[in-house]
Chains A and B, each alone.
Chain A
Amino acid sequence: MNSMQVVAVSSPAKAVNERQGITRWLISTNHKEIGTLYLIFSFTMFLVGGTMALCIRAELFQPGLQLLRPELFNQLTTMHGLVMVFAAVMPAFVGFANWQLPMMIGAPDMAFPRLNNFGFWLLPPAAILLIASFFAPGGATAAGWTLYAPLSVQMGPGMDMAIFAIHLLGISSIVGAINIAATILHLRAPGMTLMKMPMFVWTWLVTAFLLVAVMPVLAAAVTMLLTDRHFGTHFFNAAGGGDPVLFQHIFWFFGHPEVYILILPAFGIISEIIPTFSRKALFGYRSMVFATCAIGILAFLVWGHHMFTVGFGVGPELFFMYATMLVAVPTGVKLFNWIGTMWGGSLTFEAPMLFAVGFILVFLVGGITGVVLAVAAVDVQLQDTYYVVAHFHYTMVAGSLFSLFGATYYWLPKWTGHMYDEALARCHFWLSIVFFNMTFFVMFFLGLAGMPRRIPDYPLQFANFNMIASIGAAGFGFSQLLFLYVVLKCIRRGKLAKGRVWEGAVGLEWTLPSPAPKHSFATPPVIE
């Protein structure tokens, strides 16, 4: 008995190493392996969501209905949004958190490794539910990713599948967020105070709190929808004493923090990359931390700006306008600090830096059009037009997605032990930024001219810009295959990477060898 216990105590590390094949991934509790799973999953879903986008743009290439019937078109726009937000971008950031947070704070692993495994394995069933709903009677939900009642009450069983998928994705996000917050708060190496944490860690800490606060709100909204659909409640039905606008309030109380959930870790990534390639410490670290917290708090006060046209009185209209305009201040601080970091630095432009600079350029456009949209009276003209589509793709694609590409190139050598193909990676950047702007910049003009979003066919005066956008979208979509190729090539072979991959890199992860060993910081490093 006694000897068996000794064996049991001494063998786990070995047992973990011996697991092979599918079980290695199914029951892995290693943060690096789970991080890889998250990233593979999210890139797969990115391709799925991107394919839907290309179908949408193909239909919109010309006026008239050519390829898709309106009902399928609406299903595709809805699922494109749901898949990209919940199954592509969110899990991608969690993947980076998994890989990087323990290495950046000197922890041996995440705080709750089994919960970590559980959180990931909730995702594939949710994705299967979402995709399979296309084959349900009546197809997938076609109510838009915002699922506004009462339209979503009309939908077929595909809607219920989406609701359950959202529940699974929500649980996954919540356990992931709890794990991340606990890891950051409890597993930092001795000497790493909160105000010494890398910015990526800070932004994820705030994001984790946002997630824990708002995912249950979304769960409540879709559950109320479910009971309205099947159990005779009338939360959103005026005939039963409910209110359709209530759904929007609940949804956007989740939805606005959600967009900051998608962008704050991106800010963190950019704040890591720019100092490295400027060979200079981050400018205004303290104000960066405060700006992150300020954005996190303001996130809860601006949901009404998604609803300027529901018919608020003057009071809420003005409150949400002022609050929304305020967001520009901490966001501006971040942009200025990045430029301040580069000022006086010694800049080189490897692929991560290209994506970071590209991020600043396009995110500025996305952010500044946010100020235009914050002005309630102007928003009334632009709400639900392509202007809004352009605005949020400038923040979500050029913001979140570009930061994810930059982060991949930045940390991939650390993970694989190989350098990626720099020439191809730069090529990926230039293709992405050119086609991205070709796709989405013209949408600002479409929106100004009054083209509503979510329509499968459009009046003739919108034809030219739509054709340009469709060509750009095809270019942007196919450029991402190059990214896949560069990553696969880097995993297989490439110049060997040093421990400190980048000349200007500081931070604990760069003190480890490349590729990072499966178990790192078993004894914590000490930070002065």
Chain B
Amino acid sequence: MLDTSVFNFQAPKTQIAHQIYDLHFFVQGICAAICAVLFAVLFYVLMRYRKRPNRAPMRFTGYKPIEITWVIVPCLILIVISVPATRAVFAMKDTSDPDITVKITGYQWQWRYDYLNEDIGFYSALSTPREQIDNREPKKENYLLEVDHPMVVPVGKKIRILVTANDVIHSWFVPQFGVKQDAIPGFIRDAWFRVDAPGVYRGQCAELCGKEHGFMPIVVNAVPEPEYVAWVADQQAAKHAALEAGTAAAAKTFTVEALKSDGAKVYTHTCIGCHQANGQGLPPTFPSLAGGKTATGAIAEAINIVVNGSTKNPAMAAWKNQLSDLELASVITYVRNSFGNAVGDSVQPKDIASARHEDK
């Protein structure tokens, strides 16, 4: 289970989260005390001044000293609160001198992490199976809080995050870090955190971003420094391997069947949220692929809309940066030959490569 106390914030794991935790405790304490006093006075009044025979109501309609007091006292309390509150804002906004800078991009509906100095980057999407969401399988412990590719950071280092989005506004929120930063398309905002202890920290997108808003969690693995260094090396190696595989694939010609079976996997991972398992989509925002004009029409058009996105419908993103040539070729072939579509042709990785090339 998460380190959760059900009546309070999750256990804070960064300096800022601690600061917020204490500040909240302080402010909430003052507010609870005010509430308690007012409730007590109110109940006293309700009991004491109940209507009774032989007692006329008093006639006063104001009393200056007390009216002035209850303007001044709240002001004083607010000043007391504002001192630590101001300090916390300054601490939160101090993103200077980071050890590591990671760019985080919100997509409908996954996150991308780019480690700017290490030259690695990857997408991170929900890994909870659909069967659990649709109640066909029992739900596991980290239901809706697990991803295929978590963000990894070293403990004790100041991580500066640059947050932006690709399509609509998202919000990167990890409760135990005390970080919530809206991801705004076209703009970059920053925030920071330094994790105290190794562990897996989980959060969710906190700004309504469309229909899968509830299904784009955030998972951060905080690990000791050496482990982080090893992880970075692994990622870099994997990146080179993928590049080489891409070059190899570009030279090869795949059969329709092979592409279709790979494409089905890509479709399930990437396309199914909008276009649905049966390819019928949810028109008009998410059009049907079954018998769709673009899906079954000229091959160049079909490639273009997947690679570059739709010029008319902002819900259809450009996938050229998120998928490899082989993945794009597979999924387009799959769509053209599934859901009752039977165009029969195949799209090869090299077609995608040339489409990318023309684009430039």
Contacts and interface: CB of A to CB of B under 8 A. Distances in A.
Contacts of B88: 375-378
B213 A455 contact: yes
A244 B185 contact: yes
A250 interface: no
Nearest to B5: A449
Given A364-B38, A372-B24, A449 B9 contact: yes
B2 interface: yes
B178 to A, nearest CB: 6
Interface stretch (B27-35, B149-157, B325-333, B346-354): B27-35
Question: Which bracket fits the contact residues of A?
Answer: 35 or more
A33 interface: no
B180 A142 contact: no
Interface stretch (B55-63, B111-119, B237-245): B55-63
B237 to A, nearest CB: 34
Nearest to A451: B204
Contacts of A71: 211, 282
Interface string B1-32: 11011111110000011011001100110010
Contacts of A357: 42, 46
A394 to B, nearest CB: 12
Given A65-B134, A278-B49, A314 B93 contact: yes
B89 interface: yes
A19 interface: no
Given A311-B190, A458-B144, A325 B82 contact: yes
B51 interface: yes
A336 B19 CA distance: 32
B186 A238 contact: yes
Interface string B177-219: 0111110111101110000000000011111111111110000
B140 to A, nearest CB: 9
B31 A154 contact: no
A376 B85 contact: yes
Interface stretch (A125-133, A161-169, A209-217, A380-388): A380-388
B186 A380 contact: no
A348 B180 CA distance: 48
Interface stretch (A279-287, A409-417, A432-440): A279-287
Contacts of A191: none
Interface in A61-105: 63-66, 69-71, 74
Contacts of B180: 309, 380-381, 383-384
A329 B144 CA distance: 42
A383 B58 CA distance: 46
Interface string A320-339: 01100110110011011001
Contact of A70 (B67, B132, B175, B212): B212
Contacts of A313: 93
B233 interface: no
Interface string A458-495: 11110011000000000000000000000000000000
A21 interface: no
Interface in B119-178: 132-135, 139, 141-145, 163, 167-169, 171, 173, 175, 178
Contacts of B163: 311
B214 A455 contact: yes
A410 to B, nearest CB: 17
Interface stretch (A145-153, A199-207, A255-263): A145-153
A223 to B, nearest CB: 19
Could you say which of A74, A157, A310 has the most chain B C-beta atoms within 10 Å of its C-beta?
Answer: A310
Given A368-B34, A458-B214, A378 B23 contact: yes
Contacts of B284: 137-138, 156-157
A65 B46 CA distance: 46
A245 B207 CA distance: 13
Given A138-B283, A311-B189, A377 B134 contact: no
A163 B7 CA distance: 40
Contact of A461 (B1, B39, B208): B1
Interface in A363-403: 364-365, 368-369, 371-372, 375-378, 380-381, 383-385
Chain B CB within 10 A, most for which of A238, A239, A336:
A336
Interface in A423-465: 445, 448-450, 452, 454-461, 464-465
A449 B169 CA distance: 23
A456 B31 contact: no
Contacts of B144: 63, 457-459
Interface stretch (B73-81, B250-258, B290-298, B334-342): B73-81
Given A142-B211, A318-B89, A339 B38 contact: yes
Contact of A280 (B57, B173, B186): B57
Contact of A74 (B46, B81, B211): B211
Interface in B69-97: 70-71, 74-75, 78, 81-82, 85-86, 88-93
Contacts of A348: 50-51
A328 to B, nearest CB: 6
B133 A65 contact: yes
Contacts of A456: 214
A371 B31 contact: yes
Contact of A377 (B19, B39, B62): B19
B89 A371 contact: no
Contacts of B90: 314
B272 interface: no
B277 interface: no
Determine which residue in A333, A383, A448 has the highest number of CB atoms from chain B within 10 A of its CB, and name it.
A448
B229 interface: no
A368 to B, nearest CB: 4
A56 to B, nearest CB: 13
B314 interface: yes
A69 B133 CA distance: 11
Contact of B62 (A284, A317, A364, A369): A284
Nearest to A326: B78
A345 interface: yes
Contacts of A190: none
Interface in A288-336: 309-311, 313-314, 317-318, 321-322, 325-326, 328-329, 332-333, 335-336
A449 B10 contact: yes
Contacts of B169: 148, 150-151, 244
Contacts of B300: none
Contact of A150 (B27, B62, B91, B314): B314
Given A285-B62, A322-B82, A343-B58, 6 more contacts: A346-B56, A357-B46, A384-B206, A455-B213, A461-B4, A464-B6
26 contacts: A65-B135, A137-B283, A138-B282, A151-B168, A281-B61, A311-B190, A328-B78, A329-B78, A333-B70, A342-B42, A342-B46, A344-B49, A346-B49, A346-B51, A364-B39, A377-B16, A377-B178, A380-B20, A448-B7, A448-B9, A452-B204, A457-B133, A457-B144, A457-B214, A457-B215, A459-B144
Interface of B: 1-2, 4-10, 16-17, 19-20, 23-24, 27-28, 31, 34-35, 38-39, 41-42, 45-46, 49-52, 55-63, 66-67, 70-71, 74-75, 78, 81-82, 85-86, 88-93, 132-135, 139, 141-145, 163, 167-169, 171, 173, 175, 178-182, 184-187, 189-191, 203-215, 282-285, 313-315
In the A-B complex, list the 6 residue pairs whose CB atoms are closest, starting with the nearest: A238-B186, A311-B189, A455-B214, A344-B58, A377-B88, A450-B175
